């Protein structure tokens, strides 16, 4: 017998480069640097999607959305999360809660946390109190700490719908 809940973990990291749009958690942020990648490179939404897919026992986003597919160039990563939610729902799972930690030296995340939380709750069709968004720096250490990359950890609990 399987328990009526599942936990999932997601992680993603992207390089930060000058001149790229900076879209994090689906929120457009005014920044001279943005995450580099094949899609819009939204590191938060990628980590969230992988947490949902992992909890559902489904393949990760690299398999569902190959970064070699020209049709996915610069794609809106909200589509990736919507697909993950749909696939989880098809297996009978609903979002219980989501908690994320964004690791970034820049852009400064704190001013954007409320908007990201609101956007994630809309995307996952849950209330704001089911979403936790935290941001921290790497205290100047490693690629994130040197402002050359941005990373995100996500954990999600799915409940039997
Ligand atoms: Mg990614």
Residue 94 CA to ligand 1 centre (angstroms): 23
Phi/psi of residue 100, each to 5°?
A: -130, 155
Can you give the pLDDT at residue 81? 97
Q: Tell the residue number behind the tokens 């989880």, with chain if given.
A: 88
Can you give the pLDDT at residue 108? 95
Residue 42 CA to ligand 1 centre (angstroms): 7
Residue 40 CA to ligand 1 centre (angstroms): 9
Residue 46 CA to ligand 1 centre (angstroms): 5
Residue 11 CA to ligand 1 centre (angstroms): 9
Pairwise CA distance, residues 51 & 60, whole Å? 9
Residue ranges of domains in the chain: 5-160
Residue 2 CA to ligand 1 centre (angstroms): 31
Q: Where are the alpha helices (DSSP H) in 27-147?
A: 43-55, 61-64, 78-90, 113-124, 142-145
Quick check: helix, strand or coil at residue 19? Answer: coil
pLDDT values of the chain reduced to their tens digit, one per residue, 161 residues: 889 999 999 999 999 999 999 999 999 999 999 999 999 999 999 999 999 999 999 999 999 888 888 888 888 999 999 999 999 999 999 999 999 999 999 999 999 999 999 999 999 999 999 999 999 999 999 999 999 999 999 999 999 98
pTM recorded for the entire structure: 0.97
The listed CATH number (3.40.50.20, 3.40.50.300, 3.30.70.1250, 3.30.1330.50) that belongs to domain 5-160 = 3.30.1330.50
Contact (Cβ atoms closer than 8 angstroms) between residue 140 and residue 105: yes
């Amino acid at each position: 017998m399987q328990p009526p809940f599942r936990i999932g973990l997601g992680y993603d990291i992207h390089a930060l480069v000058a001149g790229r749009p900076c879209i994090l958690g689906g929120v457009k942020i005014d920044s001279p640097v943005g995450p580099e990648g094949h899609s819009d490179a939204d590191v938060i939404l990628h980590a969230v999607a992988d947490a949902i897919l992992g909890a559902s026992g489904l393949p990760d986003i690299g398999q569902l959305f190959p970064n070699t597919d020209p049709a996915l160039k610069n794609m809106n990563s909200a589509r990736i999360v919507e697909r993950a939610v749909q696939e989880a729902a098809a297996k009978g799972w609903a979002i219980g809660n989501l908690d994320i930690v964004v690791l970034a030296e820049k852009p400064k995340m704190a001013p954007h946390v409320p908007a990201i939380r609101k956007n994630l709750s809309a995307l996952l069709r849950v209330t704001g109190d089911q979403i936790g968004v935290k941001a921290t720096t790497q205290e100047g250490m490693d690629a994130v700490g040197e402002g050359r990359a941005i990373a995100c950890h996500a954990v999600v609990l799915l409940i039997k719908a």
